[in-house]
Structure 1
Amino acid sequence: MDHSELRALLELIGMLFTDPRTGVLIALLLAAAVSDYRSFRIPNWLTVGGLVFGTVYNILEPPVHGAGWMFPASGIATGFGLMFPFYLMRAVGAGDVKLLAMAGAFLGWNDTLYALLFSFVVGGVAALAFAAYHGLMRRLLDNTRMLLCYLTLSAIGGQRPTVQLAPSQSAGKLAFGVSIAAATIGEVVARQLGFI
């Protein structure tokens, strides 16, 4: 990579932080990640405030010509709708659901879907690294196998899955908001650089 290519790359990344849409989103995601890491909580003022800002900004300055209110609304619905079942299964917290819905207000439905998929990949890698570091890999794999079997049997039987592990069976707790933040920022950067 020569000097001009490096300069162009830095300019593309710099545009992310100077654009109010992506700059505010990145700042909110970083604040949510720090809060979730420290306390396993994401404040409502952060998610609701970000959702309002993202919605209003994208209505006033639509990223796609003629998108109007549908752009942020579709992103909010995608983030909330796809994360809520995981909240019902107690796999994620309410703050995680609200965080992805907030990001959806900035991203629209398509990029929110990518951010969610990337979040699960980042979260899975983080869970494996955490379990390996703490010597809990066997417990993590056993819990995953049990969860998949239970969900399959619940689906076959037509019942609503309700899975609750005893604290002694858990392989640990991770702040999934950190994974959402890292994955969403990664998605925004990858889109800016033309990888998506």
Structure 2
Amino acid sequence: MSIDPRILPPAAVLAALLVAAVWHDVRTRRIPNRLVLGGAVAGLAFQALLAPGAGLFTNPFGALGLLNGLAGLGLGLGLLLPMYMLGAMGAGDVKLMAMSGAFLGPHDILGAALLTMIAGGVLALLVALGSGRMGQVLANLRQLLLHALVRAGTGGSARLDAPPAPTGKLAYAIAIAAGTALQVALARFPAWSNLL
């Protein structure tokens, strides 16, 4: 398994951006706009300026083109936007996924979003277990589902409300970085997907 050296510049830039986002999110619970905007521009520049190919992190190496970079950015934004609208995550998280989409393109951002959701669930469970709040998390879940079922059964909307007793905020950039990194690894080394 040799690494094509042309993958190193976009991989290094994406990795640096994700590490910086995680650092800011853990420290301040915010992801700076200039970081995600600069990252999106960098991802789009790689897609527009490098020789064409199957993707920045796939074989054969090469850019997908500006339109596919924009499609990845838009899809990354759209995939997490409903979570923001429900109040389940911050705007910086949504913009960070969009930035990743500029690097990954429309196909791979779908996998990255799915892997991010899985990583986010694991992260939430670890935080709940580590902080001793697992009981409150389960009580909140029970109450949310019960209220949604009662509303649906009486002809109302089955929407989920905010939990009655919040259990804290997650630095969701960790999950986005993990999901993006896993997708890059799976795109670069498709045989690894057999391990999952």
Judged with a 3 Å threshold, the aligned counterparts in structure 2 of structure 1 residues 101 and 66 are, in CA distance, closer, same or farther, namely closer
Judged with a 3 Å threshold, the aligned counterparts in structure 2 of structure 1 residues 182 and 66 are, in CA distance, closer, same or farther, namely closer
The 8 Å contact of residues 90 and 163 in structure 1, kept in 2 or not, is answered as no
Gaps of 5+ in 2: 55-61
Judged with a 3 Å threshold, the aligned counterparts in structure 2 of structure 1 residues 158 and 69 are, in CA distance, closer, same or farther, namely farther
Matched with 1:163 is 161
**RMSD in angstroms over aligned alpha carbons?**
2.5
TM-score (norm 2): 0.81
Which amino acid counterpart does residue 141 of structure 1 have in structure 2?
L
Matched with 1:131 is 128
Query: Which of 18, 21, 24 matches 2:13?
Result: 24
Secondary structure (helix, strand or coil) at the match of 2:30 reads coil
Query: Which of 168, 171, 180 matches 1:172?
Result: 168
Q: How far 1:133 moved relative to its partner?
A: 1.7
2:182 corresponds to 1:186? yes
Structure with the bigger RCO (C-alpha within 8 Å, sep 6+) is: 1
Q: Aligned residue pairs: how many?
A: 181
Matched with 1:51 is 40
Return the alpha-carbon distance in structure 2 between the equivalents of residues 83 and 150 of structure 1. Answer: 24
**Deviations 1:100-151, CA, capped at 9 Å, x for gaps:** 0000000011111111111111111111111112221121122223344556
The 8 Å contact of residues 46 and 63 in structure 2, kept in 1 or not, is answered as no
Which amino acid counterpart does residue 10 of structure 2 have in structure 1?
R
Matched with 1:88 is 85
The 8 Å contact of residues 47 and 69 in structure 2, kept in 1 or not, is answered as yes
Identity among equivalent positions (%) equals 39
Q: How does 1:9-20 map to 2 (within 5 A)?
A: 11-12=2-3, 15=5, 19-20=8-9
Matched with 2:69 is 72
